């Protein structure tokens, strides 16, 4: 498997078609690797790691906290923005939903709240068993 580049090339924000704002570096790693795998099986699906390497998109980790300060952070760049926000426990989930609605009113911006608290929670237990002897059971 090809390594995922740690940082995008110099000047990437100027060239990027979209900014993908996620909670942290683990989300970037997960999305890059899962899209690489899915793209290998279906070339019509985007390879996010390749798109980042080519400067077509920029991943931005906001750290999972202080979301209000990120709502308009990149507005002056005039780039489309996609926010992927993890579902949390109340009252934080409600606050994130309200901010997603604000973001979704901005031109060329989209924010979605996942239904789970972490992207890794979308992995099927059989996929995890394939790479590790750990037996998992989910409710």
What is the distance between the alpha carbons of residues 79 and 26, in angstroms, rounded to a whole number?
23
pTM, two decimals, is: 0.80
pLDDT at 64: 74
User: For the sheet containing 81-85, what is the strand order?
Assistant: 57-61, 18-22, 81-85, 109-113
**Residues 13-70 pLDDT 10s:** 566 789 999 999 999 999 999 999 899 999 999 999 999 999 999 999 998 778 899 9
pLDDT at 116: 81
Q: Where are the domains of the chain?
A: 18-131
């Amino acid at each position: 498997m090809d390594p995922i580049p740690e940082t995008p090339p110099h000047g990437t924000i100027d060239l990027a078609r979209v900014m993908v704002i996620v909670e942290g570096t683990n989300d970037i790693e997960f999305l890059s690797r899962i899209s690489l795998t899915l793209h290998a099986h279906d070339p019509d699906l985007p390879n996010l790691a390749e798109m980042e390497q080519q400067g077509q998109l920029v991943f931005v980790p906001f750290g999972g906290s202080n979301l209000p300060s990120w709502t308009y952070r990149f507005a002056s760049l005039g780039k489309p923005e996609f926010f992927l926000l993890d579902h949390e426990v109340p009252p934080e989930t409600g606050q994130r939903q309200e901010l997603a609605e604000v973001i979704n009113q901005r031109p060329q911006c989209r924010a979605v709240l996942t239904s789970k608290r972490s992207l890794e929670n979308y992995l099927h237990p059989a996929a995890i068993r394939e790479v590790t002897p750990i037996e998992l059971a989910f409710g």
